[in-house]
Amino acid sequence: DVQEGDKIANQSIRVNVDTLEHLMTMVSELVLTRNQLLEISRRNEDTEFKVPLQRLSNVTAELQEGVMKTRMQPIGNAWQKLPRIVRDLSGELGKQIELEMHGADTELDRQVLDLIKDPLTHMVRNSADHGLETTAERLAAGKGEQGTIRLSAYHEGGHIIICIADNGRGLNTERIKAKALQNGLVTEAELEKMTEAQIHKFIFAPGFSTAAQVTSVSGRGVGMDVVRTNIDQIGGTIDIKSVAGEGASVTIKIPLTLAIVSALIVEAGGDRFAIPQLSVVELVRARANSEHRIERIKDTAVLRLRNKLLPLIHLKKLLRIDDGATTSDAENGFIVVTQVGSQTFGIVVDGVFHTEEIVVKPMSTKLRHID
């Protein structure tokens, strides 16, 4: 048995994270070079490069996958401290709290893991403090004495979904309304037209807090806005659902990795741009008299797509790169139907090319001030 243990121990080695990062960068460069070669071979028919290129392409893809695996870590690593935090909180707040964790072995990129550690901790604290009632309140409401916070994670098509749910009192819609008005985020008239779900979104506004008094846990107004910013930075989305008296759940959807992104290459004003594949729903060619047509509502162009109206934005106008071409052409343009979070809209572009893997790198600090 001892020898068996030794064998297993010898099978793993520790590698400096920087070494892996460097390896990742080199593989990314390799992917780019492969893309350029494939692009050249597309233009030159039947060259003898075709077969070895295909081989190179496959090897590169496998190498990329292998390097990705070295960066993967189970999400449980980000959850290790949570049970203790919850234990301390239940003592501090005088509540009975049980923490359930599901899918701790779901793997994701180390870099992503680091970025969501803090938001997760914050949300669990939030559930314990705001969400769950005291034992007396729970009994009065006819619930079990013990409140539960459920943390779960699973994969879904290139994304990881993390859900933090509690069976507490749910969001206090009235209090959020009052606070939103008080902070000048919204007018009375606008509030009238909003759904509950839209009102709940205010908790992501900077400096927003509904805590009646400031405690060591909450009420400092540094909260969900920071969580939101962190999640946005890694291209994720965050959604909140709440049922009064039954509890609330926050769902975070984040990409598995940030290093290499599959993107759709489009053209606008003679330049090429990349749109992340994950947010592209479909491509539509608008024609003046077909079922997919561009209509106008009070001078605003919208796309009619299978009986739904979608707002449209022109990539050229958005990036202010009008090349002087007339806009009458827009009636027959290519439209990339995009979904970000729960919003769907169309992006009007001049042309659509292929999809390719692109390497995403942070902008050098020297260039960051440029729009």
| Paired tokens of 58 | 């496959």
Identify the band that residue 163 occupies on the pLDDT scale cut at 50, 70 and 90.
Answer: very high
CB 336 within 8 A of CB 346: yes
Q: Please give the span between the terminal C-alpha atoms of the chain, in angstroms, as a whole number.
A: 63
Question: Quick check: 354 and 274 in contact, CB under 8 A?
Answer: no
The answer for residues whose C-beta is within 8 angstroms of residue 12's C-beta and 6 or more apart is none
Q: How far apart are CA 314 and CA 328, in angstroms?
A: 13
The mean predicted confidence, pLDDT, of the chain is 80
Half-sphere exposure in the Cβ direction for 183 (13 Å, CA): 17
CATH code for the domain defined by 75-255: 3.30.565.10
Instruction: Name which CATH class applies to 2-70.
Output: mainly alpha
Chain segment 253-293, per-residue pLDDT in tens: 887 776 677 788 888 878 888 888 877 888 888 776 666 66
Which pLDDT does position 328 carry in this prediction?
47
How does pLDDT run across 77-120, given as a tens digit for each residue?
A: 889 889 999 999 888 888 888 999 999 999 888 878 888 888 88
What value does the mean pLDDT take over residues 127-155?
88
Indicate the pTM of the whole model.
0.66
Give the CATH H-level superfamily of domain 260-367: CheA-289, Domain 4 (2.40.50.180)
pLDDT in tens, 317-358: 887 777 665 554 555 678 888 877 667 888 888 888 888 777
Which residue ranges make up each domain of the chain? 2-70, 75-255, 260-367
User: 14-27 burial, b for 16+ CB within 10 Å, e for fewer?
Assistant: eeeeeeeeebbeeb
